[in-house]
Amino acid sequence: MISAGEFKNGLTLEVEGKVVQIMEFQHVKPGKGAAFVRTKLRDIINGGVTEKTFRPTEKFNPAVIERVDMQYLYDDGDMYNFMNNNTFEQIALSHEQVGEAMKFVKENETCKVMFYNGTVFSVEPPQKVTLEVTDTEPGIKGDTQTGAMKPAVVETGASIMVPLFINKGDKVVISTETGKYQERG
């Protein structure tokens, strides 16, 4: 059990039946009245952020989040299939469970799959991926307007904006967090 007086940033706890991570906390000792702990908590299942105050003596159970490296095998139309890199155990996750996380991920890439009490709640793709451009307008020689972008489709089927000099067949590095072009691959 962890008391509110022992809170640290990044700590994961079970609070009121929800699994939350402490983003910020502050011990407050007002001139009058009892001390309290003001916190900003992020629900790790749905991502919502709430602010709560606790008495320093309140106790909470720590939540153990398991992050497992898993290889993305394939998408069978309904489910994304992953394999644990250590045990070779395979799991299938629905498109709803995974959400937009797999938008830029090719087959055989390694992702982090997050478990809480044996249940998957999130998939974290690699921070950056290198993908081939499969469709875009050809670059025009001499068109070097600074910062100008054009639409392109990458090999996973996702659409992104790329600089004018990128052509079909070029490799590009994309940030999976922002979905934006980073550099030529």
Helix residue ranges per DSSP H, 21-150: 95-98
Torsion, Cα 9 10 12 15, to 10 degrees, reads 40
**Is the same domain home to 113 and 69?**
yes
Under 8 Å between Cβ of 160 and 152: yes
Mean pLDDT of the chain: 88
What is the reported pLDDT for 131?
92
**Is the same domain home to 81 and 108?**
yes
pLDDT in tens, 139-171: 666 666 667 888 999 998 899 999 888 889 999
**Is the same domain home to 24 and 69?**
no
For every residue of 104-140, which 3-state class applies, written as one string? CCCCCCEEEEEEECCEEEEEECCCEEEEEEEEECCCC
What is the reported pLDDT for 140?
67
* Last residue of one domain, picked from the residues 62, 85, 105: 62
Helix (H) or strand (E) holding 176: none
Q: Output the domain CATH number for residue 151.
A: 2.40.50.140
- The pair of structure tokens assigned to 108 is 């055989």
For the chain, the residue count is 185
**Is the same domain home to 88 and 133?**
no
Q: Output the domain CATH number for residue 15.
A: 2.30.30.30
Domain total for the chain? 3
Say whether 155 sits in a helix, a strand or coil: coil
- The pair of structure tokens assigned to 172 is 């590009």
pTM exceeding 0.75: no
- What range does the domain containing 96 cover? 65-124
**Is the same domain home to 56 and 25?**
yes
Which residues, 6 or more positions from 115, have their beta carbon under 8 angstroms from its beta carbon?
Answer: 65, 66, 67, 68, 121
pLDDT in tens, 103-127: 899 999 999 998 888 888 788 899 9
Beta strand extents in 11-64 (DSSP E only):
12-15, 18-28, 36-43, 49-54, 59-62
| C-alpha triplet 10, 8, 5: angle, nearest 5° | 145
